[in-house]
Chain A
Amino acid sequence: MSITIKANIPEGPLAEKWNNYKAKAKLVSPNNRKKLDVIMVGTGLAGASAAASLGEMGYNVKSFCFQDSARRAHSVAAQGGVNAAKNYKNDGDSVYRMFHDTLKGGDFRSREANTYRLAECSASLIDQAVAQGVPFGREYGGYLRNRSFGGVQVSRTFYARGQTGQQLLLGSYQALLRQQNAGKVKLYTRHEMLDLVMVDGKARGIIARNLDTGEIERHSAHAVVLATGGFGKIYYLSTLAMGCNASAIWRAHKKGAYMANPSWTQIHPTSLPQSGEHQSKLTLMSESLRNDGRIWVPNDPKETRLPGDIPEEDRDYYLERKYPAFGNLAPRDIASRAAKEQIDLGKGVGALKNAVYLDFSRAIKEYGQEVIAERYGNLFTMYKKITGIDAYTEPMKISPAAHFSMGGLWVDYDLQTSLPGLFAIGEANFSDHGANRLGANSLLQACVDGYFILPYTLQNYLADEIRVPKIDVNHKAFEETEQKVRQQLEGFLKSKGNKTAEEFHKELGKELYDKCGLLRTKAGLQKAIENIQNLRKEFTENLLVPGDIEEVNSELEKAGRVSDYMELAELMCIDALRREESCGAHFRAEHQTEEGEAKRDDENYCYSAAWEWTGNPSSPVLNKEPLVFETVKPTVRSYK
């Protein structure tokens, strides 16, 4: 039964909502906090910052990650920067402007109040990070430096060379370890959450597998927070880390949490192209390169000259031509689609003709190689390591790659999922970016959720839990959930087919990239659904996993993740199929303007799709959260 859901947005004008919320939110007194346990899954920017902040407040936090150290979470790989409405550049920035840019960037498919809150809290994040010792870029006088980023006309991006994610993550990782040292956080590294435990309708714990010993463990708490990041890895070839997965949120979804807009995946325009079949991932080159790099393809599809030998008149700087106002800094979805368009016209470059040029010759001429090296030195070095090419003398070759999940667990204004006591923060939730995320907003969202929002909203929830004693892991709900987890793992091992999880993953990824990637059609999606169902069937019968449960077993870990991807992939296609409009990253060929731009249908699709699990992956229920725009009137998103 489909229902219309509400997001519990506080009363008042947009700019007052968060203050109103904080003024009225329930509190837990310091001496009661130590009686309350919180499980935090994931130690990326969202998870680490939230766990550290909650620890500082006095809660007992159990923090889990599958990596061997909390510092390895994939936030570490974010390169470009983090946005904040500080207006240090005096160029007309403000909270409202940033909110509007983000909303527009998301093609008016995000929740107004959440997006506003994101912009509102952005300034505090920079303060916090600086206080932690994050070495942001500085002007010579000692003040913070900014640069501009895709989709905006002001300079509001703070950055630490090309390793902003790493530096921000180390800041929150250190804050996390500080709490570990203080005894307020207990860290469980190399632990993977395999299921959520619901006791009397509330999220009360998780079942996790110790990846070093294979032991299956029960952990209980008064509330569970998922900060497990995105699932772009479902496309197999993506910019994500090998271990990134949807398992935690998907298993929560199967326990009843709604999954929102799962098909909205950002395809990043500046990744390195695929070079062969063996490839396991695509490396991202920061979007910040587009500040100084110019994107072009040869006019002639049959062009054979080296890029340096192609004269200006035979080049097509297609972004500058099509979007003069934003040029090379057009938002990601638009830049990716434009690249795909050129590649599909046969104008792609490189051996597989699957890339476009990103050219720095003009910037080098203008500022000198030294300045460019200081701005992007590590990216140029990385490019050389991977491709063997020196980008100071020859343009880079880039191509679009799956990157960020705008979709995720549905959450209300409190970041609480549809299951009481289960919260989702950072990329794991869906709320702030709409149908397309602006560059340098993901680090921001992860941090803001973790440092400044969850500590208030979770406390609001926990205020009613102070009388609940420690949750007993011998409760039958734990027993049953653990049993199910065991059965699933045994099932993988028993299958004894002849295809590895990785091979299934590659096939699934290709299917999804072709039919539910940059360009989607009704027929394609229907076909994809059929193919995925078949592949899923084959997966249950023909999977090959070596080894045992009670030992180190990477293949068993992969099998679990791919098994979840098999179900999620179908939901993504269903979601994309059901949304008969184009918006942001979701581009349906049937719904475009004459110039080939996305055509939204605000009348019928101005909602977030919150899918409900029914037990059958092929027949989920669509619940709708209508998007109400009180302050901004959705317009046609134009970057011309």
Chain B
Amino acid sequence: MKIHLKIWRQKDRQTKGAFKDYTLEDVSKDMSFLEMLDTLNIKLIKSGERPVEFDHDCREGICGQCGVMINGIAHGPLKHTTTCQLHMRSFEDGDTIYVEPFKAAAFPIVRDLKVNRSSLDHIIASGGYVSVDTGQAPEANSIPVTHEQAEAAFDAAACIGCGACVASCKNSSAALFTSAKISQLAQLPQGDKETSKRVVKMVYQMEEEGFGHCSFTEACQVECPEDISVLNIARMNYEYNKARLLKK
């Protein structure tokens, strides 16, 4: 099928970007969206143009490295699907597709569709872990965790850190990302001991990185590849308020 593309091209953070038009003639329905971009890039390289830079790695929806705005939606039209798992069968012959990078002040553009999402790492680094050194762990079955607890913790832990929640948020908030980690660890006996310390540090870091606030439009969950629940944000707020109120 024939596809018209309007792709955001931007040399670097300082330079102004703009859409550029491309047309691909032989796009197969079985191609993934990124394979379609691969095809475009080979064409561009051969015609002496600079290929489109975009982020991707595992191409099976788990590493979280890919992610662009496709027709104004993070990861494109399918819900709960990463860009790499989106296939061209989701589009029609003759469609025009707009491709833009995730935009947020905390995600500076590197080039074209590539953005720097280190701010998410910084949030985790500020406290998104259990403080246990190698060697300190007790026998695994000495900490029983019920099936329901483990499943609930997993639901939150499934986050792939792609940043679609931030891109989909009208306030560019990283609340879903941050709360997923807080909520996962708060639901497990191993992690709960540090919850109040953790939540204060991580929320502070989230603000430091320049993310916006959460106003519960719930768009993040709808576009999240892993369908992480917005209730995690409520849980983060609960833990945060509790930590603040009970502060000694």
Residue among B42, B48, B60, B110 facing the most chain A CB atoms (10 A cut-off): B60
A488 within 8 A of B: no
- Nearest chain A CB to B103's CB is how many angstroms away? 16
Complexed CA–CA distance, A52 and B121 (Å):
15
Spot the interface stretch: A18-26, A96-104, A496-504: A496-504
* Residue interface mask B135-164, A partner, CB < 8 A = 1: 111111101111101110110011011000
Contact A72 B57 (CB under 8 A): yes
Complexed CA–CA distance, A18 and B58 (Å):
36
Complexed CA–CA distance, A281 and B38 (Å):
12
The residues of B that contact A166 with a CB separation of less than 8 Å are 62, 158, 160
Tell me the A279-321 residues at the B interface (CB within 8 Å).
279-281, 283-284
Instruction: Please judge, given known A-B contacts A180-B125, A241-B63, A385-B81, whether A278 and B31 are in contact too, CB under 8 Å.
Output: yes
Complexed CA–CA distance, A177 and B126 (Å):
8
The residues of A that contact B184 with a CB separation of less than 8 Å are 133, 135
B7 within 8 A of A: no
Instruction: Please judge, given known A-B contacts A67-B63, A141-B144, A546-B45, whether A382 and B137 are in contact too, CB under 8 Å.
Output: no
Complexed CA–CA distance, A181 and B120 (Å):
14
Interface of B is mostly: loop
Contact A139 B147 (CB under 8 A): yes
Contact B55 A68 (CB under 8 A): yes
Spot the interface stretch: A121-129, A329-337, A614-622: A121-129
Contact B110 A552 (CB under 8 A): yes
B87 within 8 A of A: yes
A444 within 8 A of B: no
Contact A131 B110 (CB under 8 A): no
Contact A124 B45 (CB under 8 A): no
Contact A143 B61 (CB under 8 A): no
Of all chain A residues, the one with the shortest Cβ separation from B64 is: A72
The residues of A that contact B63 with a CB separation of less than 8 Å are 67, 72, 74, 76-77, 241
The residues of A that contact B51 with a CB separation of less than 8 Å are 546, 554-555
The residues of B that contact A555 with a CB separation of less than 8 Å are 45, 51
Contact A133 B58 (CB under 8 A): no
Contact B42 A503 (CB under 8 A): yes
Spot the interface stretch: A34-42, A167-175, A415-423, A629-637: A167-175
- Nearest chain A CB to B213's CB is how many angstroms away? 24
A367 within 8 A of B: no
Interface size in chain B (residues, C-beta < 8 A): 77
Complexed CA–CA distance, A408 and B128 (Å):
34
The residues of B that contact A194 with a CB separation of less than 8 Å are none
Complexed CA–CA distance, A189 and B146 (Å):
37
A576 within 8 A of B: no
The residues of B that contact A276 with a CB separation of less than 8 Å are 28, 30-31
A115 within 8 A of B: no
Contact B161 A242 (CB under 8 A): no
B209 within 8 A of A: no
A469 within 8 A of B: no
Spot the interface stretch: B91-99, B111-119, B166-174, B216-224: B111-119
Contact B121 A76 (CB under 8 A): no
The residues of B that contact A70 with a CB separation of less than 8 Å are 121
Complexed CA–CA distance, A128 and B134 (Å):
7
- Nearest chain B CB to A313's CB is how many angstroms away? 34
Contact B125 A163 (CB under 8 A): no
Of all chain B residues, the one with the shortest Cβ separation from A185 is: B125
A12 within 8 A of B: no
The residues of A that contact B87 with a CB separation of less than 8 Å are 385-386, 388
A86 within 8 A of B: yes
Contact A498 B46 (CB under 8 A): yes
* Residue interface mask B167-205, A partner, CB < 8 A = 1: 000000000000000001100101100000000000000
Contact B146 A142 (CB under 8 A): yes
- Nearest chain B CB to A617's CB is how many angstroms away? 27
- Nearest chain B CB to A337's CB is how many angstroms away? 24
Mind listing 8 A-B residue pairs with CB under 8 Å?
A53-B133, A69-B65, A71-B124, A138-B147, A140-B146, A178-B129, A278-B30, A502-B42
With contacts A53-B134, A76-B160, A128-B137 known, what are 6 further pairs, Cβ within 8 A? Answer: A72-B63, A138-B147, A189-B118, A212-B110, A241-B63, A500-B46
> Which B residues contact A (CB, under 8 angstroms)?
28, 30-32, 34-35, 38-39, 42, 45-46, 48-51, 53, 55-65, 78, 81, 85, 87, 89, 110-111, 114, 116-118, 120-121, 124-141, 143-147, 149-151, 153-154, 157-158, 160-161, 184-185, 188, 190-191
